[in-house]
Structure 1
Amino acid sequence: MGQGAPSTREVTVVLDGYSFLECPRWHDGRLWVSDFYTNQVVSTDGRGHVEVVAEVPRQPGGIGFLPDGRALIVSMRDHRILVRDESGSLAEHADLSGAVPGLLNDMVVDDRGRAFVGNFGFDLMGGAPLRHTTITRVDVDGTVATVADDLCFPNGMVILGGNVLVVAETFAGRLTAFDIAEDGGLGNRRVWAQFGEPPQTEDVGEAVELLQVGPDGICADAEGAIWVADALHARVIRVQEGGEILDEIPTGLAVFACMLGGDDGCTLFLCTAPSFPEHERRPVREAQLMAVRVDVPHAELP
């Protein structure tokens, strides 16, 4: 399906009554997702059953899983990554407070258990000017290292082929790729997909008006394409390397993250809400988890 031809597939509501859902991950038959302003991570089978799997008082964000199955959960406001054991107990896995200039954000964990984490880089909700920032790697032993810089709001991330990290730079309107070296370093930076010209402004409001796509959460499928939550235009798009939009599904509400899952990997889960500003989302429960069937199943990480 070419650009400009939105899909007519049916989008259904799986869960509702949440504050702001983000960072969905399909794991072991269930979808895990963070609800920012209730400070909870919940999991669902996609058929209505819901369980609170973690309480993160300083706001849960990115989610990933170590090779032994334990969950890693970003604690956004105190710049920590927590590890959840099989009993559900949380402990500190790493403290990134000395390495990052803003709230922690999304995260992807590779097959060796190394976590790659983005951060806001500036006070988005407080109206500060746009600032570029970093990606941090956290090793299995909790060691922290900055592995990339000069990124314009690094957001959702996927790992393709085991050694290519692709990150959504939301306010630059692009997906950027790096090769992951044997030692976990990032190199060979390149544009994976560019959606129009990057806005040349430090004003968030102006940038939002100029962006053709606001790439937020992302996930990959078995054909090497990436589904991108376009946070600014109430849709999710399927993109191939080079930037061609292969498919588009309108959602009715703004969509901030997406994840392929379900028994056959062909259910695309969507984290939706009417808007993103914290002062609008925190006091209400208008966020929904939606789902739509697609043709190509989940692959790669997360």
Structure 2
Amino acid sequence: MTTSPLHQPECLLDLRATLGEGPVWIPGEKSLYFVDIPEARIHRFTPETGAHESWSAPDRVAFLLPVEDGTFLAGMPDGLRRFDPRTGAFSDHKFVEPEKPGNRLNDGCVDPQGRLWFGTMDDSEEQPSGSIYRVMHEGNGLNITHHDEGYTVSNGPAVSPCGKTLYVCDSPEQTIYAFDIQSDGELANERVFARLEQGYPDGIVTDNEGTVWSGVWGGSRIMRFKRDGTELSSIPMPVTNVTKVAFGGDDLKTVFVTTARKGLDAETLAKEPQAGSLFEFRTDVAGVDQQVFRLNG
């Protein structure tokens, strides 16, 4: 175990992705999966060995979340597909919002009940045409239900460790919202959880104390919030566009951070040559085990 100072980011994989996103730690493999959305690439990195593998996807992948059978659910622009890293194959296309060709899927998470939550967004990032959905596996297929709307760029989402609160960002609005997740899976009591004054909230996760961690696009930092929305100290990052974090390692106290080069001009890139790379640092609070999508059929 490293004894390096806490919250001191170091470049782990000098990848320089266009838009690195969606890190998830798979403990059985001791590996981190993440995506580069515009390049339609899926990456797997194993810190212990330094092994780095990647796959080409048939289209952009916004998120990749584990299923209990060893596959992943991939959020593609027009819907959900299954991805099997053992073969590299994509299958089982489930379309979402076919009536909105200008939208695409964005970020997602799995809650403690094994349900997938994800959001959609306007691909041009101009219209509030995005929504929040929940996915359950029923019988031989996926049951997708609509729960909220009016998002220009939905991000997050994240669920509290107890499974009773859903956090969702609307990034251009610089706002993180919170909802109560009721026993039947419906959402209630929408409220503003936090607003940012500088930068835009991107991917969010929670640790095992319920603290909310948010990557900040255009903000060169990771912000943290108590369960009541009170801001804690931020963690500075050496690059401008910080997209999302994931807790990993044997004790879930290693924080992996994806970043992006997208939108940065030549002058900024010259100052931040490792923008888009994968970073890591140690922290003093453990994360939550990565939840897996539950198959009921």
Relative to the length of structure 1, the TM-score reads 0.80
Q: 2:213 aligns with which of 198, 210, 227?
A: 227
Number of corresponding residues: 272
Q: 1:267 aligns with which of 254, 259, 262?
A: 254
Separation in structure 1 between the aligned mates of residue 123 and residue 76 of structure 2, nearest angstrom: 17
Equivalent residue, structure 2, for 1:144:
144
C-alpha spacing 1:182/1:55, structure 2 compared with 1 (3 Å): farther
Runs of 4+ in structure 1 deviating by more than 4 angstroms, as ranges, are none
Equivalent positions of 1:154-233 (< 5 A) are 154-160=154-160, 161-195=162-196, 211-233=197-219
Alignment pair present for 1:63 and 2:67? no
C-alpha spacing 1:11/1:285, structure 2 compared with 1 (3 Å): closer
* Local SS of the residue matching 1:247: coil
* Local SS of the residue matching 2:38: helix
C-alpha spacing 1:120/1:239, structure 2 compared with 1 (3 Å): same
Q: 2:12 aligns with which of 3, 11, 14?
A: 14
Whether the aligned pair in 2 keeps the contact of 1:162 and 1:300 (CA below 8 Å) is no
How far the C-alpha of 1:104 sits from its partner, in A, is 0.9
Alignment pair present for 1:296 and 2:285? yes
Q: Deviations over 1:102-131 (max 9, x none)?
A: 11100112344432111123513xxxx342
Separation in structure 1 between the aligned mates of residue 290 and residue 170 of structure 2, nearest angstrom: 18
Whether the aligned pair in 1 keeps the contact of 2:6 and 2:283 (CA below 8 Å) is no
Equivalent residue, structure 1, for 2:83:
84
Q: Structure 1 stretches of 5 or more lacking a match?
A: 1-6, 196-210
How far the C-alpha of 1:134 sits from its partner, in A, is 0.9
Relative to the length of structure 2, the TM-score reads 0.81
Equivalent residue, structure 2, for 1:203:
none
Whether the aligned pair in 2 keeps the contact of 1:72 and 1:83 (CA below 8 Å) is yes
How far the C-alpha of 1:245 sits from its partner, in A, is 2.1
Whether the aligned pair in 2 keeps the contact of 1:194 and 1:242 (CA below 8 Å) is no
C-alpha spacing 1:138/1:8, structure 2 compared with 1 (3 Å): closer
Separation in structure 1 between the aligned mates of residue 275 and residue 261 of structure 2, nearest angstrom: 7
How far the C-alpha of 1:214 sits from its partner, in A, is 0.8
Opposite residue 241 of structure 1, the aligned amino acid is R
How far the C-alpha of 1:182 sits from its partner, in A, is 3.7
Whether the aligned pair in 2 keeps the contact of 1:66 and 1:72 (CA below 8 Å) is yes
Q: Deviations over 1:60-104 (max 9, x none)?
A: 11121234443111112xx12111246333212521033655111
* Local SS of the residue matching 1:171: helix
Opposite residue 84 of structure 1, the aligned amino acid is F
Separation in structure 2 between the aligned mates of residue 244 and residue 181 of structure 1, nearest angstrom: 24
Separation in structure 1 between the aligned mates of residue 66 and residue 163 of structure 2, nearest angstrom: 15
Separation in structure 1 between the aligned mates of residue 85 and residue 277 of structure 2, nearest angstrom: 28
Separation in structure 2 between the aligned mates of residue 86 and residue 213 of structure 1, nearest angstrom: 35
Separation in structure 1 between the aligned mates of residue 222 and residue 9 of structure 2, nearest angstrom: 11
Q: Structure 2 stretches of 5 or more lacking a match?
A: 292-297
How far the C-alpha of 1:270 sits from its partner, in A, is 1.1
Q: 2:232 aligns with which of 221, 246, 250?
A: 246
Identity of aligned residues (%): 26
Whether the aligned pair in 2 keeps the contact of 1:65 and 1:113 (CA below 8 Å) is no
Equivalent residue, structure 1, for 2:295:
none
Deviates more, 1:143-152 or 1:7-16: 7-16
